[in-house]
A and B are shown apart, each in its own frame.
Chain A
Amino acid sequence: MKISVHLNFIKRTLPWQEPLAPLCEDKGCRLEFVCGIIQPLLCVMTVVSYNVAAYAESRLIPEEIQFHGFMTQGFFHSSNNNVYGQSDDGISPGLTEIGLNMNYQPLDRLRFAAQGLYRRAGDVDTGSVRLDYGLADLTLFDYDSGKIGLRGGRIKIPFGLYNETRDVAFTHPTILLPQGIYFDRSRSLLLSADGGSFYAEQRTDFGDFNFKFNVGMPPHDFDEIKTVVLGTRDAHGRFKTTPAIATQLKYELNGGEVVFAVSYMNLDFSYDPARGERLRQSESNIQPLLFSAQYNGEKFTLTGEYEYSWNTFGNFAPRGKFVTESWYVEGSYRILPKLQATVRYDTISMDKDDKNGDGAVALGFPRHVAFAQDWVFGLRWDITPAWMVRADYSRVHGTAWLPQADNPDPNKTKQDWDLYGLQLSFKF
């Protein structure tokens, strides 16, 4: 009975489902595969939204407990290089993200929060569930113009304007975040860390200040990080991290009309090679410093971030030390309240003293792994407060942020390439 109600509901609310069916029959096998994924996904999304709405209606859950979640499905097509699976010469049903979180406040000054995240992204992440964050938040002092507190557990890393909600499509304007700063290929380092956080908020007549200081163990033993830090995926030794520091000072005027932030991280790794391995025992260190600025108007949003990162890679760079520089400028305009167009220029130089990639060539890599410059054009339509769809086009010069897992042989990658993305997202 309940199931049939759901099915009827889906039929009524998914007008795009029926036109999809003949499309799946007509086109090739690849598209059929994509349709095969999108249809059940849409069903799941709709059923969940229906159930949540029903729950909210009945108010079965006390107000001290809140549930929220999101589901996102992205599709990619690219020329030459692959992103989120085999997107070259086809459509990769590349990126599926499902998050569910819970907030529970048993006492006035004590709160628990946790979020589970399912993610399947190309060949980098072939489908897994992880605890994205799980923390206890204790307010130590709460006074008229601010508060001070501690968080403990698994905590999201504050870095720039978007890192804490990097997997939540609704919180940023384009499908892919600026890759020069929010690398997807080393995302596991930037997600969350197990440890503690001190925070302080101060409201003044001339704006609000927000400070966070986090110490925690980032996850380790990820192939992508090995690739970045050691220069190869083919490492069989022990890869270790020590507690990392992440800190951020944010200033907001008029409830976020103007935002300035400075973020800094200090990450240490060490590598013990396996017996007979070519790689040496080595220590590596990454220290990114990031400046962020944003203006949020009624129709126009202008964002810029600049990152300067000191790197010491014991095994990788010929000189061992180098500085990575990246920045982007992004303008968004709300043509209609629900329709937003975005243009972004994003650039990264892996080694700011070797922008042409001579060092990469010396190591046998193509020159273009050392840099990337992207022009991104995006259109976002917020259909309802709960549903959003958007499309991006990127023209990329260089492969600095291209995930190696999707492109195992760097010498087969192309310097200039295009990326098209389509994304559907739901939240409650």
Chain B
Amino acid sequence: MQKPGNKKLVAYHILAILFCFAANLPIVTATEVVVNKSVPAADYSKVDIRAIFTMQKRFWLNNKQIKVYTLSDSSPLHKDFVKNILNMFPHQIRMVWDRMTFSGTGIAPIELDSEQEMMDKIANTPDSIGYLSQKPNNENIRSFEFH
């Protein structure tokens, strides 16, 4: 005979399994990582994106230097990008950039003032990467595919 507590346990298991499925679903987010059309397509992963935005990965496959653009720490789009695409916290990536900038060990990304400026920059700068709040509507910009 089943103990009454076991039903609860079964329910927990079902919930846990559901959560596991949920975790594997693509993250539903409006933030779109975008690149200039000159950037070579390849099999990129989330790890690559994080390495690009923490300024560790500095070159594309064609050996061109990556140009990284971001928005201000206070921008909601920036916060969403850092949390949902990079899987980091805004204060964490700020620390990475500040440590490089103020110790001479690296260069932080270039910070832009608005999403419109981001769109213009990515469209007009070869080898650039950034993010927008929607799919790009510009022939010089394409979504950056990654898994």
Distance, CA A297 to CA B92, complexed state (A): 9
How near does chain A come to B139, taking the closest CB pair, in angstroms?
A: 23
Q: Let me know if A168 and B98 touch, CB within 8 A.
A: yes
Chain B, interface size category, equals 35 or more
Whether A108 contacts B59 in the complex (CB less than 8 A), given A255-B87, A256-B96, A296-B89, comes out as: yes
Query: Which of these binds chain A: B15-23, B30-38, B99-107?
Result: B99-107
| Residue ID in chain B nearest A108 by CB atoms | B65
Distance, CA A384 to CA B72, complexed state (A): 10
Q: Which residues 371-428 of A sit at the B interface, judged by CB distance below 8 A?
A: 384-385, 427
Q: Let me know if A203 and B51 touch, CB within 8 A.
A: yes
Interface centre among B63, B87, B101 (most CB of A within 10 A): B101
Distance, CA A272 to CA B95, complexed state (A): 43
By a CB distance below 8 angstroms, the chain A residues around B89 are: 296-298
How near does chain B come to A210, taking the closest CB pair, in angstroms?
A: 9
Distance, CA A385 to CA B104, complexed state (A): 21
- Beta-carbon contacts of A77-112 to B below 8 Å, as 1s and 0s? 000000000000000000000010101010010010
Q: Does A119 contact B (CB under 8 A)?
A: no
Interface centre among B72, B89, B99 (most CB of A within 10 A): B89
Q: Does B116 contact A (CB under 8 A)?
A: no
Q: Does B28 contact A (CB under 8 A)?
A: no
Q: Does A283 contact B (CB under 8 A)?
A: no
A-B contact pairs, 15 of them (CB 8 A): A68-B102, A99-B102, A101-B102, A108-B59, A115-B102, A139-B58, A156-B103, A165-B99, A165-B103, A199-B105, A203-B47, A256-B95, A256-B96, A257-B92, A296-B95
How near does chain A come to B45, taking the closest CB pair, in angstroms?
A: 10
Distance, CA A279 to CA B90, complexed state (A): 54
Whether A142 contacts B51 in the complex (CB less than 8 A), given A256-B96, A296-B92, comes out as: no
Distance, CA A115 to CA B101, complexed state (A): 10
By a CB distance below 8 angstroms, the chain A residues around B95 are: 171, 256, 296
How near does chain B come to A426, taking the closest CB pair, in angstroms?
A: 13
Q: Which of B54, B73, B101, B103 is close to A255, meaning CB atoms less than 8 Å apart?
A: B54
Q: Does B86 contact A (CB under 8 A)?
A: yes
Q: Let me know if B56 and A165 touch, CB within 8 A.
A: no
How near does chain B come to A178, taking the closest CB pair, in angstroms?
A: 17
Q: Does B142 contact A (CB under 8 A)?
A: no
Distance, CA A427 to CA B54, complexed state (A): 19
Q: Does B74 contact A (CB under 8 A)?
A: yes
Distance, CA A144 to CA B95, complexed state (A): 24
Q: Let me know if A171 and B98 touch, CB within 8 A.
A: yes
How near does chain B come to A109, taking the closest CB pair, in angstroms?
A: 9
Whether A70 contacts B102 in the complex (CB less than 8 A), given A63-B67, A63-B110, A142-B58, comes out as: yes
Q: Does B77 contact A (CB under 8 A)?
A: no
How near does chain B come to A136, taking the closest CB pair, in angstroms?
A: 10
By a CB distance below 8 angstroms, the chain B residues around A168 are: 98, 102
- Beta-carbon contacts of A313-338 to B below 8 Å, as 1s and 0s? 00000000000000000000010000
Q: Let me know if A201 and B56 touch, CB within 8 A.
A: yes
By a CB distance below 8 angstroms, the chain B residues around A105 are: 107
Q: Let me know if B51 and A114 touch, CB within 8 A.
A: no
Distance, CA A270 to CA B103, complexed state (A): 29
Q: Does B108 contact A (CB under 8 A)?
A: yes
By a CB distance below 8 angstroms, the chain A residues around B101 are: 66, 68, 101, 103
Q: Which residues 205-257 of A sit at the B interface, judged by CB distance below 8 A?
A: 205, 208, 254-257
Distance, CA A144 to CA B47, complexed state (A): 11
Please list the 3 inter-chain residue pairs (A to B) with the smallest Cβ-Cβ separation, ordered nearest first: A164-B103, A113-B104, A385-B73
| Residue ID in chain A nearest B87 by CB atoms | A254
| Residue ID in chain A nearest B61 by CB atoms | A144
How near does chain A come to B128, taking the closest CB pair, in angstroms?
A: 10
| Residue ID in chain A nearest B125 by CB atoms | A63
